[in-house]
Amino acid sequence: MSAKQAKPSLAELFDMLVEARERTLELVADLDDDQMIGPRLAIVNPLRWEVAHIAWFQERWLLGHLNGREPVRPDGDSLYDSARVAHDTRWDLPLPSKEKTLDYMQEILCRALDLRDDTNARPVADDGYDLSYFLHLVLFHECMHAEAITYTRQTLGYAAPRIKIAAPVERRTAIDPEGKTVSMDLPRAWGDAFVPGGKLSLGSPRDCGFVFDNEQWSHEVEVAPFAISRTAVSNGEFAAFIEDGGYRRRELWSNEGWAWREREQASRPLYWKRLPDGRWLRRNFAEWVPLEDRLAVIHVNWFEADAYCRWAGRRLPTEAEWEMAASCEMDGQGVSARKRIYPWGDEPPTAERANLDWKNIGCIDVDALPESDSAFGCRQMIGNSWEWTTSDFNPYPGFEAGPYKEYSEPWFGDHKVLRGGCWATRSSLIRNNYRNFYTPDRRDVWAGFRTCAQ
């Protein structure tokens, strides 16, 4: 049994579209036309293409698919349809200037907002999906691309985005007797949480409102008892792996992982470098900063996470284990059938519970935010950094693709599942059941991991 998430009204969804667009525009406001194109790389899009694609997608589903209206740009599909336009050709397209691109985005948003008062607007599409579904689809699509734009700024070494946010959350640290800064909740945060296992209803139930097709539908799986780390792996812990020759020791790597390491000549996380005196620096957007030992390690791929686990005598959790540790509660000596929407309960995220929404423009200490704890005492399972699991990204039993058929189905089989969201993930999007997915070689993602006992 899963708790039911409150469903926003149509008026609230339209307001959320406006807010999401404001955030997207903030993320590119300081960039010039050349920066909005950038170099041709396999892991990024030209930003002039990407932000226009967001608007095109909104038009396609709300105005075209649902209401049968003619597109603003007759050439929109040939420019911005990600299923039609091959990735490596997007830099060669006759993309409009940044100014004209932003005008296009505004025009699409205005037409979408007109649906609020249009008595002729269709409430249900021919495929049976309603206006609420497509508002969620285009909203969450924009949220995901806003996060990807943040990745792009890091990848290309642009300055940190200038986001209008409230003051960062209090990190709740203290000074120990030796003068070192430590967490006030250190004894609870470190170590393992024991989860007794049992039956888990993995995925989302049919009555939970909007979900992406890869979460459909909940199905019972049996999970053996396991122990999972209360916190994600920190920079300091990962540095110890490097110091012990982790990137040089063949026995720590899978065959595919070692082939990747050899090909890339990887010897450290992507944005780390070592000074002659032995200190580590980390590139944070355009700046090099001293490595913060207690922050969650990010920009490590699945192969690196797997090698670390072998070195530590640990393993990555399966996605079922991750979801059980995040969602379930104790019922006597076992796990109850009830699932929480978030690790801390069913209340929406706040700054005290999750590092989301660009609140800190980066990761925070892995043992901060005690109010984020799950029923088993696992901290920050939502927000701060995405967490790799050992599971392949595959469909759940009875999978049927949603209207946006390119969202999940093309990626089954060769991607890995990540859970939990990161600091740039929108709080409106993320829940315990949400499945993210990337190929195991991707290091540009704000992804880290937590571990399980063998």
Closest CA to 441 of 299, 283, 322: 299
**What are the start and end residues of each CATH 3.90.1580.10 domain in the chain?**
190-454
**What are the start and end residues of each CATH 1.20.120.450 domain in the chain?**
10-155
Torsional class of 394: left (φ above 0), alpha (ψ -120 to 50), beta (otherwise): beta
Half-sphere exposure of 185 (CA within 13 A, CB side): 18
Query: Going by DSSP bridges, is the β-strand pair 447-448/452-453 parallel, antiparallel, or unpaired?
Result: unpaired
What's the whole-number mean pLDDT along residues 247-259? Answer: 98
At residue 185, the pLDDT reads 41
pLDDT of 55 strictly over 70 = yes
Q: How confident is the model at residue 188 (pLDDT cuts 50, 70, 90)?
A: very low
pLDDT of 179 strictly over 90 = no
pLDDT of 331 strictly over 50 = yes
Q: How many percent of the chain have pLDDT more than 70? A: 94
CATH superfamily assigned to domain 190-454: paralog of FGE (formylglycine-generating enzyme) (3.90.1580.10)
What are the b/e assignments for 332-368, b being 16+ CB within 10 Å?
eeebeeebbbbbbeeeebebebbbbbbbbbbbbbbbb
User: What global pTM score does this model have?
Assistant: 0.94
At residue 165, the pLDDT reads 67
pLDDT of 261 strictly over 50 = yes
Q: How confident is the model at residue 332 (pLDDT cuts 50, 70, 90)?
A: confident
CATH architecture, domain defined by 10-155: Up-down Bundle (1.20)
What's the whole-number mean pLDDT along residues 265-272? Answer: 98
